Amino acid sequence: MGKRIVIVGAVALGPKVACRLRRLDPEAEITVVDRDSLISYGGCGIPYYVGGDIPDIEGLCSTSSHALRDPEFFRRSKGVDILPRVEALGIDRQAKKLQVRHLDTGKEESLDYDKLVIATGATPFKPPIPGADFPMVFTVSNLHSARDIKEKISKGQVEKAVVIGAGAIGIEMAEALTDLWGIETTVVEMADQVLPAALGKNMSRIIENQLEKNDVKVMLSEKVEEIVGDPESGVTAVRTGSGTLDCDMVVMSAGVRPNTLFAKESGLACGRSGALLVDRGMRTTDPHIYAGGDCVELRNLVNGENMTMPLGSLANRQGRIIANNIYGRASKFKGTVGTFCIKVFDMAAAKAGLTFAQARDIGYDPVHSLVAQPDRAHFYPASKLMYIHLIADRKTRKILGIEAIGSQGDAVKSRVDSVAPLLQAGIDVDEVCVLETGYAPPFASAMDIINNAGNVLDNILEGKNITMDPVDFIRAFEKNEIQVLDVRDQNEIEPFIKKYGKRWMNIPQAELRDRLDEVPGDRPVCLVCGTGARSYECQVLLSQNGFDNICNVQGGHAMLLATAPKFV
């Protein structure tokens, strides 16, 4: 008889373990249980199903050759038994038995295992807000809620929606509701920015503008206090700290919590997040029990701390590692740098590593560069501006994180993907300056934007480039704390002079050497140019000539336009 492998959870990690193991070990008896009736689907596609890009739900449950991934498919094609509507209740670790209940019949039984795999994922967190259980309040975690949401929308039952939480799922759902269905959608977020776990302040402003430009209203630093409505007919409004938003649907996307109750009760160790602790072989504190995916803590490879990182990309990779180890082929999953990407209407954002705030909060002294540059050679017709945020530790010059935003998603993702694997190796700023990437005009510039982000950061760390962030610049300008010196040519800046008068001076870079006496020496001067390159050179010139109250705006006018279009 082969090894008896029991797997709990049949969406991402569970089926991956089962299928890989079957390919390695034809003898193993592999049983997968899931309390849900729907199994092995692409949950990451839910927003695109709701938004209409994926017309039928079957698209999320099929293989690339259009075979439906149901229990019959797994039995016949993969030699794996999947039992839907069977819930795991507890583990008798001594006897190596998993207690389960068949949800349709109520029957309980024990499944013997040699190795057990916990792939139970996570459940959306429902903040304890009055009204959270009313009809028409949804979380987005599985195909049932996806189907319900789409059914209500397509029947014309939703004119206004509120999305609670501006993390990745909240933003994807806001786009799905607005883009095809034209639902008036408001995103309410407690933090003072969108994607707070993924992007720095300046970069998040670009995404906020992108949402607003596409008719999604964004409310930041705002707490939902009550969902108004009744238990029969559903919601009518959401009450926040500052007012009431009428709506007929609420989507809650306030993060997730790992599903670990029965595992914890059996004595398996969990971390501070409540997720299971695993070693690099994905073994729990019981050597016969493995776990992976959204229900485990992973090592953050930038700072060595444990964290949860609920990503399907990671769950699938861990599945292969678990199968290898069960088979006896030692494999390791070292951890993650949290590489992530998202589409926001016709823009994309990606990130890896720590944000500036995360780095600061765990004790680094972070320094950052913000760069705006075409994503391919500037003379190539398809080139589009792209924005990079690179974060390093001041003392060690170690790179801690990278973020990218642009309108060509593949270009955005490729920049972050090129740095992500190096983050875990402890790459420093100097290595980013010379990072080797491919070049041809249709794909990149000879000096790639990544290299320039490194160069700018190097200059900042050397104390040569004295910068101000766009968000700080706007605040300081609005408070009348700075004088602007725009070093672009006059024709580029006429609208600013018209709008802001003397507070927005112009001396083109080519004339600055001869007009140093016109530069105010009695108040802080902030230099602006197109993307930050000319203003940096001017700042160096001014510093060499004894001006000591000079800085320049990171990313220049391009970054201001992206972060604060109303200001420019």
- For ligand FAD, the closer of residues 178 and 240 by Cβ is 178
Residue with token string 């001017």: 538
- For ligand FAD, the closer of residues 318 and 324 by Cβ is 318
Question: Per residue in 451-474, is it b (16+ CB within 10 Å) or e — as a string?
Answer: bbbbbbbbbbbeeebbbbbbbbbb
- For ligand FAD, the closer of residues 34 and 403 by Cβ is 34
- For ligand FAD, the closer of residues 43 and 51 by Cβ is 43
- For ligand FAD, the closer of residues 80 and 370 by Cβ is 80
Closest separation between CB of residue 542 and ligand FAD, Å?
46
44 is annotated as an active-site residue: yes
Closest separation between CB of residue 201 and ligand FAD, Å?
23
Closest separation between CB of residue 84 and ligand FAD, Å?
9
- For ligand FAD, the closer of residues 124 and 229 by Cβ is 124
Closest separation between CB of residue 177 and ligand FAD, Å?
13
Closest CA to 349 of 190, 567, 167: 167
Instruction: Give DSSP secondary structure letters for 81-99.
Output: EEEETEEEEEEETTTTEEE
Closest separation between CB of residue 504 and ligand FAD, Å?
42
Question: Per residue in 123-149, is it b (16+ CB within 10 Å) or e — as a string?
Answer: ebeeeebebbebebbbbbbbbebbeeb
Other Cβ atoms within 10 Å of 157 Cβ, number: 12
496: left (phi over 0), alpha (psi -120 to 50) or beta: alpha
- For ligand FAD, the closer of residues 110 and 236 by Cβ is 110
Strand pairing category for 224-230 and 298-299: unpaired
Rounded to whole angstroms, the Cα distance separating 504 from 513 reads 19
The phi, psi pair for 411, rounded to 5°, reads: -65, -40
Taken as a whole, the chain contains a residue count of: 568
Helical residues (DSSP H) of 32-155, grouped into ranges? 46-50, 71-73, 143-154
- For ligand FAD, the closer of residues 350 and 392 by Cβ is 350
| Token pair for 101 | 């209940």
Closest separation between CB of residue 168 and ligand FAD, Å?
7
CA distances 3 to 9, 13, 115, 349, 549, Å, are 19, 19, 8, 44, 72
Closest separation between CB of residue 43 and ligand FAD, Å?
4
- For ligand FAD, the closer of residues 294 and 393 by Cβ is 294
* Dihedral sign for Cα atoms in the order 3, 7, 13, 16: positive
Closest CA to 542 of 562, 560, 524: 524
Closest separation between CB of residue 110 and ligand FAD, Å?
14
| Token pair for 520 | 């105010």
Closest CA to 109 of 119, 93, 94, 97: 97
CA distances 501 to 205, 293, 307, 498, 523, Å, are 26, 57, 50, 6, 17
Residue with token string 């940096």: 536
Closest separation between CB of residue 82 and ligand FAD, Å?
11
Strand pairing category for 347-353 and 249-252: unpaired
Closest CA to 554 of 411, 455, 480, 481: 455
Residues that bind ligand FAD (CB under 6 A): 8-14, 33-36, 43-44, 46-47, 87-88, 119-122, 140-141, 169, 259, 262, 293-294, 310-313, 315
Spatial contact of 69 and 40, defined as CB atoms under 8 Å apart? yes
Set 44, 270, 529, 551: catalytic member: 44
Residues known to be catalytic: 44
